[in-house]
Structure 1
Amino acid sequence: MTRVLLVDDQAMVRQGLRLLLELGGIEVVAEASDGAEAVAAVATHRPDVVLMDLRMPGVDGIEATRRIVADDPAARVIALTTFDLDEHVAAVLRAGAVGFLLKDVTGEGLVEAIHRAESGEPVVAPAVLARLMRHFSTRPPAASEPLPALAELSEREREVLALIGAGRSNAEIAEALVISMATVKTHVRHIFAKLDLRDRAQAVVFAHDAGLRSSVVE
């Protein structure tokens, strides 16, 4: 049975989530009301998945996620929040979360997301990913020194990554670069492997942090 840690500063929210998960055949091994308690609970119970609220007093969910993943890079943290502000999505993905869901997700959708996260799949609500891509595609890339990891990529892979960061789909990348869909998919797979990225959402964040912008979308 999948084992989950619930982290939320509101007891009623935790009770509601517990009921939904237990009805879905998931075991809630512990609860925490803030980020500090969450970090300690993960160390004690080693849950398969952590459902993490973001806005909490004291240590918030983003910092708690950072600490949990630093201690165990294999930890599976799903951010679950009422707010879909773009900076929260980017920050918690940078911290190492494997997913970002809104609290209006259905019970069935939540249970499915937990099982997907446990099996190693990324879990980001499609609407949230679309907003993140739009958010970064309309802002200048972050001004920073080139990230060392970029040296691992070929020139074409950088171009593909820049287009991912601009919110382009694989089909749009293929059209823009005049290459096949199969070639795009191969480039994306290599980019994820070289940069140790879990999913497209993390790729969008990385591209923006690296200051990548493709001339194709200028």
Structure 2
Amino acid sequence: MPDDLLPLMLTGTIETLYMITLSSLMAFLLGFPLGIILVITAPNHIWPLPHLHNALGTVINATRSFPFIILIVVLLPLSRLIVGTTLGATAAVVPLAVGSAPFVARLIENSLKEVERGKIEAAIALGASPLEIVGKVLIPEALASLIRSMTLAVITITSFTATAGAIGAGGLGSLAIRYGYMRYRDDVMIATIVALILLVQGFQWGGNLLARSIDRRRHQFG
């Protein structure tokens, strides 16, 4: 093993985890309320606002249609405005979060739509407000599905961090390009691929474990 491989991999993995953690948190903070609004403003739901629902859906679809590498470039000025630079892991968090938020919103929307209509109607009959229905019916009932959706989002963001490496974001993606590809180092390329696979498998395993645990508790007390 070359002497520099382990330090390179350690630095790249730490930078990737840093980007994944911050961008996932920000994407969830942006995407979660958007997903809720998409659901409750739909026709025949608890707060029907067709114009808002259609406008928001159009904006989300338009944003999702951008190839991520192009979206990163488009959002570079925003990164410079917020963090003062367009290079490095911190700068990459901004386009990662903004680019992932519409995807998160659609995942949240799909999970919340799985809640049985009868439970929502029962809450309405009891006089629950839209906010109470969201907090006490929609989210608790869809919690396991929401966990699976968030797991998928984190895995997708992990792949986005690798793409962001092409524009100097750092992390394992940048390591694979700068050392593995440009310097013809197969050891670095293989190590980064293995590291990314392990990260994805770890996120998937953890998300599935948590979702199954929530499902079991629901069946026990439901």
TM range (shorter): under 0.3
Structure with more strand by fraction = 1
The structure whose Rg is larger is 2
- TM-score, normalised on structure 1? 0.25
Structure with more helix by fraction = 2
